[in-house]
Each structure stands twice: as structure tokens, then as C-alpha cells.
Amino acid sequence: MGKRQPVHPHPAVGKGRAALKVLLIEDNEQNRYLATFLLQKKGYEVLSVADGLQGVEAAGKERPALILLDIQLPTLDGYAVARRLRENPDLRETPIVAVTSYAMAGDREKAMEAGCNGYIEKPINPDSFADEIARFLPGKPQGGSRE
């Protein structure tokens, strides 16, 4: 009969809160897969792209709540991506978290100088990854009672 069920674009919408969108800019397929899996499990919506230029474009279009940024990337490296993102007034306040290799300590300072808000070390720790990222979001999606 008459009434149609509305189609929810994402499960979280039905719970009255839109999922936070995370943009993942990462060229390594395994890292992309793992990070996406861990974030989706926590209820984030994840968009991922595999090179720097696509990352800049996607960020401008999608306006994610947070950007995870690999440093070594094709087309534009992570530093250049961060600088370009910060030139966009719409993205000036968006948290950018660099994902850096442990061995490359100098990467971190450079990433911060380029406009990143923080960094996470590779390899990703599956147990703490989502919590580490939540620290950079203004409204934490879950928990958060310990701070």
C-alpha cells in the first residue's frame, strides 16, 4: 500500500547522526584496505584515493571531517597536498593527520610545517588506530570519557 520506506544512504543516518566522513589519501593498497576497514568498523564513512592530486580534488568536493595523508604519494607528495589543502578557505580548519614512517623522523616536522595537525606512525596499529584519529576530531564519535 501507499507508504514507502525511506532509503537511508548510510546506516548511521537512521540513528539520527550522520557518519563522519574521512578522506584517506594513500597509495599503498594494503594500508588503504586496513585503514578503511578499521575506520568503517567504528562507523566512519571512508573515501579513499591513491594519489596526491586526486586527494586535493576529493577534499575540495567532499569536505571530509578529517583527512588522513600519506607522505610518499604519486603526483603530489603529502607535504604539497597539505599546503594546497590549507590554501582552500573551506579546508583551513579540517584536521589533517599525516601518516608517516617511523624511520623518517624528519617527515613529521615537515608535515607539521606544511599544515598537518598531527601524525600517526606507520605501520598502523590496528588496536589504537581509530582512537588516535578520534583525538583530532572536534566532536568525538564515541567514548572519550577518559580525557
Q: Which residues bind Mn ion (CB under 5 A)?
A: 27, 70, 72
CB 81 within 8 A of CB 25: yes
For Mn ion, give the closer residue by CB, 12 or 53: 53
Smallest distance from Mn ion to CB 15, Å: 34
* 36 Cβ neighbours under 8 A, 6+ residues apart: 24, 46, 48
Instruction: Name the residue nearer to Mn ion (CB basis): 27 or 121.
Output: 27
- Which residue lies nearest Mn ion, judged by its C-beta? 72
| Beta carbon of residue 17, minimum distance to Mn ion (angstroms, whole number) | 32
Smallest distance from Mn ion to CB 104, Å: 11
Cβ atoms of residues 116 and 91 within 8 Å? no
The H or E element spanning position 61 is helix 52-62
Of 134, 126, 142, 128, nearest in space to 37 by CA: 126
Q: Give whichever of 70 and 107 is closer to Mn ion, judged by the CB atom.
A: 70
CB of 145 to Mn ion, least distance (A): 35
Nearer to Mn ion, 28 or 117 (CB): 28
Residues 6+ apart with CB under 8 A from 6: none
**Shortest distance (Å) from residue 101 CB to Mn ion:** 9
Which phi and psi angles does 105 have, rounded to 5°?
-60, -35
Q: Which is nearer to Mn ion, 46 or 98 (CB)?
A: 98
- The grid coordinates of residue 30 equal 594494503
